[in-house]
Amino acid sequence: MGSIKAIITGVAGYVPDEILTNKDMEKLVETSDEWIQSRTGIKQRHIERDPDKATSDLVVGAINKLVEKTGLDVLEIDMIIVATITGDHTFPDTANIVASKIGAKNAFGYDINAACSGFIFSLVTASKFIETGTYKKILVAGADQMSSILDYEDRTTCILFGDGGGVVLLEPNQEPDGGGIHDAVLRGDGEGAAYLHMKAGGSKKPTTVETVMAREHFVYQEGRVVFKAAIKGMSESISTLLEKNNLDIADIDYLIPHQANKRILYGVADYIGFPREKVLINIENYGNTTAGTIPLCLSDFEGNFKKGDKLIITAFGGGFTWGAVLVEWAY
């Protein structure tokens, strides 16, 4: 039982067609392309404008691409985990809506809410169902329709985020040295909630006319605190993960960080002495898609990976939540 490893056997990303460039942002709030690019590395983000579309459609878009690429039979899917903070509804979860939309009649699922760390938390959770032999095909998605919770009058947050996501297929490793999700360091600290949250809409402060008028149904963030905590959290979890597995930075082929801000990503690389050229970055095209950034990044750079490559995937997000996962690429 203990010898089964979970391997990623396919990946796909999806973003809505419409693009909001930094020039477009200049028309919404007092900002500039130069400020956004120099402070964050972001050039544009994708936005869903169709009022009938929700996060489940981002996930379905990614799954449809995955099915096309891999020939996956949706009836063989056992389980779907969707990492998101912008589920279609407060309840029910989005994963079972996705299952119905794609016709995965034999699957069940649930959502995991760990903000920007949601995808790595979900990946590790799913890998345990594979390792125990419980399930054989699990879809792990990360997606957020951030435009649904952004205040496009708040220049400190609206320029950062975009809509999008992706999905990976997890299956049992069929070969003795076939790679897999090897190990992880996952962390959380509820004290961090003060610095990155939505003020109203939960049980602590249910939505009322007053909360809506006060614009409390949007993302609230104290950027400088999050910035510093993100560099510290991701750097420390990567170092702990390397130490636990007797690995050096030179053993790692690529670092796939949650795409929060280019300065944060280079900050992490420089802090731990990781070569910047091995840090995979695509934030310029999508902004921060919260739970969506890591599968989108894996999808964009899939062509770079070869079997046996050692990747570290790392994230930091609201909660605070953070961590790092050691993955050996399997194809």
Among 47, 230, 296, 327, binds ligand ACO (CB under 6 A): 230
Q: Residue 201 region, left (φ>0) first, then alpha (ψ -120 to 50), else beta?
A: left
For the window 65-104, what string marks contact with ligand ACO as x by the rule CB under 6 A? Answer: ----------------------------------------
Nearer Cβ to ligand ACO (39/53): 39
Q: Is 329 in the site for ligand ACO (CB under 6 A)?
A: no
> Six-digit token pair at 243?
């130490």
For the window 173-212, what string marks contact with ligand ACO as x by the rule CB under 6 A? Answer: -----------------------x----------------
Interatomic CA distance for residues 213 and 84, integer angstroms: 25
Asked whether 269 and 276 are in contact (CB, 8 A), the reply is yes
Told to judge if 297 belongs to the known catalytic residues of this protein, a careful annotator would answer no
Nearer Cβ to ligand ACO (7/230): 230
Active-site residue (options: 22, 116, 158, 297): 116
For the window 246-285, what string marks contact with ligand ACO as x by the rule CB under 6 A? Answer: ------------x-xx------------------------
Question: Please, what is the Cα angle at 149 between 145 and 152, to 5 degrees?
Answer: 110
Among 35, 110, 220, 266, binds ligand ACO (CB under 6 A): 35
Footprint of ligand ACO on residues 110-139 (CB under 6 A)? Answer: 116
For the window 304-323, what string marks contact with ligand ACO as x by the rule CB under 6 A? Answer: ------------xx------
Nearer Cβ to ligand ACO (305/316): 316
Number of alpha helices (DSSP H) and beta strands (DSSP E) in the chain: 11, 13
To ligand ACO, the closest distance from the beta carbon of 7 in angstroms equals: 27
Nearer Cβ to ligand ACO (10/295): 295
Question: Please, what is the Cα angle at 46 between 119 and 316, to 5 degrees?
Answer: 30
Active-site residue (options: 46, 173, 288, 297): 288
DSSP string, 131-194: HTTS-S-EEEEEEEEGGGG--TT-HHHHTTB-EEEEEEEEEE--STT--EEEEEEEEE-GGGGG
> Six-digit token pair at 104?
């995965």
To ligand ACO, the closest distance from the beta carbon of 43 in angstroms equals: 14
DSSP string, 2-28: TT--EEEEEEEEE--S-EEEHHHHHHH
In 10 A of CB 157, how many CB atoms?
21
Closest CA to 289 of 273, 300, 302: 300
Catalytic site residues? Answer: 116, 258, 288
Q: In the complex, which residues of this chain contact ligand ACO (CB under 6 A)?
A: 31, 35, 39-40, 116, 155-156, 159-160, 196, 221, 223-224, 226-227, 230, 258, 260-261, 288, 316-317
